[in-house]
Amino acid sequence: MILREVPRGFTTRFAPAPTGHLHLGHIVNAVWVWGLARAYDGRVILRIEDHDRGRCRPEFEQSILEDLEWLGLDADIAPISAFRAGRLPQRQSDNGARYEAALAELSSRGLAYACTCSRSEIERAWADTWAREQPGIPLLEGVEARYTGTCRHRQVPADATPARRVIMDAEDPVVFEDLRNGRAVQDPQRQCGDLLVRDRHGNFTYQFCVTVDDFDQGVNLVIRGEDLLESTGRQILLSRLLGRERAPEFLHHRLVRHPDGRKLSKSAGDTGVRELRAFGASPAAVLGRAAHLGGLPHDGSPIAADTLHRLFR
């Protein structure tokens, strides 16, 4: 395993969404987060990313807290006890006023606009645009549908829909150094188009909430799975629009996948921590297995939470 220079004393976060119970994929991320933080004098924030009010459940938050406590993983900022005590900004459903203020600021500068486009309309417009720009080349399944800017110049009344998009124009592509994967160059406008930051149901989106939170909470190293690598450029650009002078650094680690290539899923109940506990696995056994599956130099044998730093030295 080769990592580029990791800054000492960084602030990072472990940020599960309470849409299901924790599974081994989450614990791989936890091993990277806590292991690196303890090896490099960093601090860990616990954040519950429950911006999606339709899918998130309080009982899943409680399950996450119980599993982390059982594993011996607690945060330096917003620890488990703070979540049990009541409201706090590290729970996204408690942070709505901050997201509203950030969106209002962007709107006041002409950087956000109302959008009434449905998902199917976006996909049709993107397919038409692709056919014009890439004649004779089929649109591959799974390619992200880029928003082509239909509502940018429509001047949709603000009260017509809660949905808002932020303009993702930039003179130059976004360039960053991933601490594991190296140099990356991304053009958010060509990847995704203007970014949806609040949906038609009034829910702020993942991309918006995490960017605001990372700015406000001083996160300067984001450690997460490689499935989110393609989101990095748009989050860096959005953070600049929000006034962040220096974006966080990023490290994207390997995912745990099924033999057919699918990543583990909470919705499918894949390799849940609760199930492993019920089968008699110890916390150290779960952490050791996760370290091995996450591509770290470890043979899968049990490893205690307070020794995870050894994986990175």
pLDDT in tens, 136-175: 787 766 678 899 999 998 999 999 999 999 999 998 999 9
Rounded distance between C-alpha atoms, residue 234 and residue 231, angstroms = 6
- In the chain the domains, ranked by start, together with CATH numbers, are 11-96+207-312 (3.40.50.620), 112-206 (3.90.800.10)
Rounded distance between C-alpha atoms, residue 137 and residue 131, angstroms = 8
User: Is 214:239 a contact under the CB 8 Å cutoff?
Assistant: yes
Rounded distance between C-alpha atoms, residue 112 and residue 300, angstroms = 48
Q: What is the mean pLDDT of the chain?
A: 92
pLDDT in tens, 60-107: 999 999 999 999 999 999 999 999 999 999 999 999 999 999 999 999
DSSP E strands, the chain? 11-14, 43-46, 112-114, 164-166, 174-178, 182-186, 195-198, 221-225, 249-253
pLDDT in tens, 5-60: 899 999 999 999 999 999 999 999 999 999 999 999 999 999 999 998 888 999 99
Tell me the chain's radius of gyration from C-alpha atoms: 20
